[in-house]
Amino acid sequence: MASERKANSALEYHRDELFKNSNLAYLAVVSVLDDDGEPTDDFIIEAGVYNLEQQKEAENKLQAEGRREEEFVPPRLPVPSEGKIKTLTGEYVAVEIKESEGFAAQSSRERIRPANGGSSVMNYRYHSAGTLGGAIKIKGQPGLFFISNWHVLTGGSGRNGDSIIQPGRADGGRYPQDKIALLYWSKLSPEMDAAIAKADEGKVAGGTRCFGKIKGIEKAEVGMNVKKCGRTTELTTGIIKSINASVRVSGYPDGTQLFNNQILTTNMSQGGDSGSVVCNASNNKAIGLLFAGDGKTQTIVNHINKILGSKLEPFVVKHADGSKEKMPEIEFEKFAPKE
């Protein structure tokens, strides 16, 4: 077995090469469980493949011909050295292969005023629905804002200033009568699928409709019991399996996206729950932003401290029509209390 640090190092060293394998859905550093189902200090890498038979065929070919196929995920990975110049050591991290349904970007559904965490929202341009995660305060800016996903509030053709409606059009929302906010900031990168909207006065309240206040943020930990309030499945709970997962996620305008350093939980979502804030079940502190899942066994979550834990510097995004737009600097203040 290996320590968490060595398992993380091995995943990051081998990740790019392994994801040349089109059969690979995700890689995640996970803790080995003891006989009581509790996480231990030993870690392995879990590898999800779309087709287990394809993995077995590649393994058989390797055994028969001594030639490794690109579709083959090895049962163990060598750990790299810790210096600036990486060499492979004699230590290995075990790899557990599982079959995966694959992940897709994932939407309560009625009109509610003021809307709060768990409510249906969407950019007015799209006939769909996602989830309002939670109301936040931004330093130096008056009023309330709220957080959700890029693919909920921005999507392929959205841009700053777009109207956000509640509920989303898939749930009967209409523009302009159901407008509650304007898109303020968004980012789609290998670490996050996130967006922030500026709420119209009186249209959004703090907290969630399922469990009240969100009481700040903290780091996710393997084995943590977590919960979320979402548009589709409302209040659900799960357990964190990994805090360092690399995952292929379908459903984006440019096709499948690879996300790194993600939180992997047991299943706690369905389509439309995207944008939900995931909290530590014991203290209501936010640990992540839900954005994808396979709908059966696992859910994928951005680390909230990557989004709101430090000052978000300005950057330029390129829109589908070729135009460019500068995103403003953001410094998170706190989640707004339930009103």
Query: How many domains, the chain?
Result: 3
Is 131 within 8 Å of 114 (Cβ atoms)? Answer: no
DSSP 3-state of 305: helix
Q: Which residues contact 197 (CB under 8 A, 6 or more apart)?
A: 121, 145, 146, 148, 153, 164, 181, 182, 183, 184
- What is d(CA 87, CA 78) in angstroms, rounded to the nearest whole number? 10
Is 230 within 8 Å of 251 (Cβ atoms)? Answer: no
Query: Do residues 195 and 324 both lie within one domain?
Result: yes
- What is d(CA 298, CA 135) in angstroms, rounded to the nearest whole number? 26
Query: Do residues 295 and 186 both lie within one domain?
Result: no
Query: Do residues 114 and 200 both lie within one domain?
Result: yes
Query: Do residues 132 and 171 both lie within one domain?
Result: yes
Written as one string, the DSSP assignment of 130-177 is: EE--EEEEETT--S-EEEE-HHHHTTTT--TT-EEESS-GGGT--TTT
Closest CA to 119 of 128, 137, 131: 131
Tens digit of pLDDT per residue, the chain (339 long)? 789 999 999 999 999 999 999 899 999 999 998 888 888 999 999 999 998 988 988 888 877 776 666 778 999 999 998 877 778 888 999 999 999 888 876 546 889 999 999 999 999 999 999 999 999 999 999 999 999 999 999 998 899 999 999 999 999 999 999 999 999 999 999 999 999 999 999 999 999 998 889 999 999 999 999 999 999 999 999 999 999 999 999 989 889 999 999 999 999 999 999 999 999 999 999 999 999 999 899 999 999 999 999 888 899 988 888 889 999 999 999 999 876
Is 275 within 8 Å of 296 (Cβ atoms)? Answer: no
Enter the tokens of residue 197.
Answer: 């909207």
- What is d(CA 258, CA 261) in angstroms, rounded to the nearest whole number? 10
Residue 216 in any domain: the answer is no
pTM: 0.85
Q: Which domain holds residue 153?
A: 109-209+308-335
Query: Do residues 11 and 89 both lie within one domain?
Result: yes
Please report which residue ranges of 19-92 form alpha helices under DSSP H. 52-65
CATH number of the domain encompassing residue 19: 3.30.300
What is the end-to-end Cα distance of the chain in Å, rounded? 49
CATH number of the domain encompassing residue 144: 2.40.10.10
Residue 215 in any domain: the answer is no
Residue 217 in any domain: the answer is no
| 87 burial level (CB within 10 Å; 0-12, 13-18, 19+) | exposed
- What is d(CA 4, CA 221) in angstroms, rounded to the nearest whole number? 12
